[in-house]
Chains A and B, each alone.
Chain A
Amino acid sequence: MLRSLGADVELIRRPEELARISGLVIPGGESSVMDKLARAFGLADPLAEAVRSGLPVYGTCAGLIMLADTVIDGIRGQQTIGGLDIAVRRNAFGSQTLSFETDLDVPVLGDPAVHAVFIRAPVVETVGPSARALATLSDGRCVAVEQDNLLGTSFHPEITGEYRFHEYFLQKVAAANFRH
């Protein structure tokens, strides 16, 4: 997805690899596992530090949880990188049979609506004063947010080939011109 939009992409697993990047996508997956491994291999603290000093990061699903200042319904001892002034409820819709796809209005991206896939997805339960909601479900629950260089969505735009969120993120990366 990012490659097709012209970005160079590398996989980041170790703290020393952070120096090579000017933006980071934290993808879907299991947030509790990401947290555990990020801490076990010394990535969590340097990453949190980079986020505080302005590294642009886009988190989808589990990645959104990793960027939230507060996680609700985490596993015992679960921590986050933080940066987004939000509280996120993990796995807010229930078991996999309640995972779904739907069309979503995202004013900042304009028309057409975003076709969004939610897989055991989180929702943003509280949007703090520093963060801004970008999209809500018809029941009013917030599922996309931004705050300065950070972007987060409960859903997975890449699964449907929806590129506008990644494009929007790459604009943040270009504007930030982040230096370590």
Chain B
Amino acid sequence: MTETTSAFGSSRVKRGLADMMKGGVIMDVVNAEQARIAEDAGAVAVMALERVPADIRSQGGVARMSDPDLIDSIIAEVSIPVMAKARIGHFVEAQILQALNVDYIDESEVLSPADYVNHIDKWNFTVPFVCGATNLGEALRRITEGAAMIRSKGEAGTGDVSEAMKHIRTIKGEVARLAGLSKDELYVAAKELQAPYELVAEIAATGKLPVVLFVAGGVATPADAALMMQMGADGVFVGSGIFKSGNPQARANAIVKAVTFYDDPSVIASVSRGLGEAMVGINVSDLAAPHRLSERGW
């Protein structure tokens, strides 16, 4: 028997789980009942949190990691992967979430940041992390800190997909630009992106991020989700968009199908029927700067 010691928490194992979620939908849920609806609808994972971003936005105050009892109840309810959010830089919240056996931690700008300078050193953990990014430099800094998955931020809790669009276009565009640079230009590009040269050179060579890229923030309809997939996202996070809508079950089902058949307008049209009301949206342009969550993270 040549089986050697097992390695837990390697980059391959961490990035691998995100790979297995490609083409899927990850849904925000605030209790076991919603988690059940999400799993039944075909979510590839759920994000366990106390308040969806739309409520965090309307209720205000400091938003923190969820109650461990709530996370336990959601883990007990479903068998798909369970993610949970820690505040930016709050490594003790992350330690707690790892101890609770969540499958992925989202170091998230949706919660109130705990550190306005540093993010969590994610290499210290066995559990993988997903982090938000609005541009390639931000994504690369998170990957350098150990993130195993990136989601573009969008503007959570608005139902306005325009920021998500801006971020995925920015990231994709910057990756494409790197691929066209010569070796000497990559040194300057690394400096401008505030990211390590080796990582920048790797992306220039491969033409893609070394981790899975999902889109989040403002996705409210099957069409929004398919739009993000056609833009080249590997998958979609839906936060407030499902459980703040008129018929969460139908909408969750429809968004899963729209993501699978994102390039088939006839399927997207048919699943878009009879969904009831979408979440009431807020235009991002109406938000005062301090209320823009996507500007958190550095």
- Report which B residues bind A (CB closer than 8 A): 1-10, 12-14, 16-17, 19-24, 39-40, 42-45, 75, 78-81, 98, 101-104, 126-128, 256-257, 260-261
CB distance from B291 to the nearest CB of A (A): 33
CB distance from A26 to the nearest CB of B (A): 12
CB distance from A167 to the nearest CB of B (A): 20
How many cross-chain pairs have Cβ atoms below 8 Å apart between A and B? 117
What B residues does A37 contact at CB under 8 A? 42, 256-257, 260
Candidates A33, A74, A91, A137; contact of B24 at CB < 8 Å: A33
What B residues does A4 contact at CB under 8 A? none
Stretch at the interface among A17-25, A44-52, A113-121, A171-179: A113-121
CB distance from B295 to the nearest CB of A (A): 30
CB distance from B93 to the nearest CB of A (A): 16
7 shortest interchain CB distances as A-B pairs = A96-B103, A95-B101, A100-B6, A28-B20, A33-B42, A102-B6, A138-B3
Asked whether B256 lies within 8 Å of A33 as measured between CB atoms, the reply is yes
CB distance from A159 to the nearest CB of B (A): 5
Candidates B7, B40, B98, B103; contact of A100 at CB < 8 Å: B7
Q: What per-residue 1/0 map shows which CB atoms of A66-103 lie under 8 Å from chain B? A: 00000001111000000000000011001111111111
Q: A95-B102, A96-B127 are in contact. Are A103 and B4 (CB under 8 A)?
A: yes
The answer to whether the Cβ of A29 comes within 8 Å of any Cβ in the partner chain is yes
What B residues does A90 contact at CB under 8 A? 79
The answer to whether the Cβ of A108 comes within 8 Å of any Cβ in the partner chain is no
CB distance from B88 to the nearest CB of A (A): 21
Asked whether A117 lies within 8 Å of B13 as measured between CB atoms, the reply is yes
Q: A96-B127, A119-B17 are in contact. Are A40 and B8 (CB under 8 A)?
A: no
A97 to B10: give the CA distance in the assembly, Å: 10
Other than the known A96-B128, A104-B3, what 14 A-B pairs have Cβ atoms closer than 8 Å?
A28-B19, A30-B81, A33-B24, A61-B20, A74-B79, A75-B80, A96-B104, A97-B126, A101-B10, A102-B5, A102-B7, A105-B2, A138-B3, A160-B12
